[in-house]
Amino acid sequence: MGKKVLAIVSSPRKNGNTDMMVESFLKGARDAMHRTEKIYLRDCKIEFCRGCEVCSSTHHCVIKDDMERLVDKLLDADVIVLSTPVYFYSMSGQMKTFIDRLMPVYPELRGREFYFITAAADNDTMIERTMQALEGFTDCIENAEIRGKLYGGGNWRKGDVEGKEILNTAYMMGANV
């Protein structure tokens, strides 16, 4: 039986550069008989964390929105793909808001395998800060394993990644989860 692979797309651009890399990754995973699901944060209602700290005792968030079902999907996944465009040298606000809302449950993600997929107009070396920002999340999770990072630099307009080698790299990464 294959792994359950859940991909979070935080770009507001459907079929944009990160989305295309994620799709290649998931195709590779499916071809290797893994089960995949993709979530677009742009389709979800996710409020900001209120910092109320109620979850530190209840392990549940007081906010009732789409995070309830997203948390269930994350806990059910073996492999979690976090994808984001680089926005001002960091992750998108959508991804940061999503991660902050994992405060009640992040310890339960222990042992999961993670992949990071990013796109940026600038070159790959400028993406490192964004990768480090994402690692700020996985560093807090016991035995979280970052199994792969895709640096999609040099892509500015929607679809710029089309025909580039990075899509094959994404496919192979997905095929080897």
Question: Which amino acid is located at 108 in the chain?
Answer: E
* Cα(106)–Cα(59) distance, integer angstroms: 10
Binding mask 2-21 for ligand FMN (x = CB under 6 A): ---------x-x--xxxx--
> Does 40 interact with ligand FMN (rule: CB under 6 A)?
no
What's the burial of 26, exposed, middle or buried (CB within 10 Å: 0-12/13-18/19+)? buried
Provide the minimum distance between the beta carbon of 40 and ligand FMN in the complex, in angstroms, as a whole number: 11
Within 13 Å and on the Cβ side, how many CA atoms surround 7?
30
| Spatial contact of 177 and 79, defined as CB atoms under 8 Å apart | yes
Provide the minimum distance between the beta carbon of 129 and ligand FMN in the complex, in angstroms, as a whole number: 9
Choose, by CB under 6 A, the member of 48, 139, 156, 162 that binds ligand FMN: 156
Closer of 2 and 154 to ligand FMN (Cβ): 154
Contacts with ligand FMN by CB under 6 A lie at 11, 13, 16-19, 85-89, 119-122, 126, 155-156, 158
